[in-house]
Amino acid sequence: MEKMQEEMNQMFEKMSKHMPSTDFRDSRVDVSIENEDVVITAEMPGVNKDEIDLVVTENDVTIKAERKDIVEDKDKEGFYRHERSYKGYNIYRSFPFEVRPETAEADYEDGLLTVRIEKVEKEKEKEKKKVKVR
């Protein structure tokens, strides 16, 4: 019985190496306001900048990055094990104010994505005067 269980475990382990994964990694994201700009800084190590898909609307930002893994099987002498794996990042942040998507700029360096977007200034409330009725 134990031998059969061991063989099944080995079979599933071999099969799972070749199955697509939907594992997305969490990313640490900071959102701040600097000089009327919204600045989003996201940790995204392990991806190339051409793998990053960035979409900005008036109220939110979506950042996706899918990493392409190359699966290797090494059945020769020696030990090979691939334990750390993820498919990428999926980040969504909404804003309690509007931004100007056309002003968005992004830089990616050393695993850190920085996005800067101009914040829409609220129109100043027009002056009001209470008039006393005579």
For the chain, what are the domain ranges? 23-119
Q: 0.85 cut: is pTM over it?
A: no
- Quickly name the fold that domain 23-119 has: Immunoglobulin-like (2.60.40)
- Determine phi and psi for 15, rounding to 5 degrees: -65, -40
Per-residue pLDDT of the chain (134 residues; tens, 9 = 90+): 777 666 666 665 555 444 444 556 667 899 999 999 999 999 998 888 999 999 999 999 999 998 766 555 565 566 565 555 557 888 999 999 999 999 999 999 999 999 999 999 876 555 677 788 87
Q: What is the DSSP letter of 125?
A: P
3-state secondary structure of 35: coil
How is residue 109 annotated by DSSP?
A: E
User: Virtual CA dihedral for 34, 52, 100, 109, nearest 10 degrees?
Assistant: 30
pLDDT at position 15, please?
A: 53
